[in-house]
Structure 1
């Protein structure tokens, strides 16, 4: 008889692997909506930009999670989807975006 704790661990692992393609697709779609917002010049743009910079390099760009409270519901949901995408990173967030290095450098210059 298998160890119940081990069985629970492997059940959770298999569930996470099964959910990963959907998390990835939803997260990338959300990221592609957030980047243009971060490139604008509004209060919400600054929050989104600082959130993305925090995922890119948290030690260099710490992000206060309470800032997410100022976002409208759609942007908030997109941030959470991108955070879920980055929870088990397959690659750096900025690499999902065409010309991501240059875009994140501009975000750093404008919002860091």
Structure 2
């Protein structure tokens, strides 16, 4: 019993260390993906609506619920970018809009378009 608890603690510690080592790459990929997604979300297309609603869902899921099945309508590259942003927001260091310069203004626009 004691050995099992110690092994579980070791596994958890190792996983935490691995995650901390991966976090800079996750942050970099996620912020780059976010920068690519925002211009698409501010256009007027079906994919724009999906991306806009996705980003608003990360911003405030209760106010802006998002249907995950909508992601099926995205091109592969946009889908991958959404997954990178979701991974970035999985353990947020800050709110998703705060990764962008003038992020609050951008998300205000997204609310006007897709909210």
TM-score (structure 2 length as normaliser): 0.95
1:9-48, aligned counterparts within 5 Å?
A: 9-48=12-51
Partners of 1:97 and 1:90 lie apart in 2 by 13
- Which residue matches 2:62? 59
Alignment partners' CA distance in 1, 2:100 and 2:12: 34
1:7 positional shift: 0.5
97, 104, 108: which one pairs with 1:101?
104
Within-5 A mapping of 1:55-94: 55-94=58-97
> What is the CA RMSD across the aligned residues, in angstroms?
1.0
How many residues are matched? 112
Q: 2: CA distance between counterparts of 1:59 and 1:50?
A: 12
TM-score, scaled to structure 1: 0.97
For structure 1, list consecutive stretches of 5 or more residues without a partner in the other structure. Answer: none
Question: Secondary structure of 1:91's match?
Answer: coil
Q: Which runs of 5+ in 2 are unaligned?
A: none
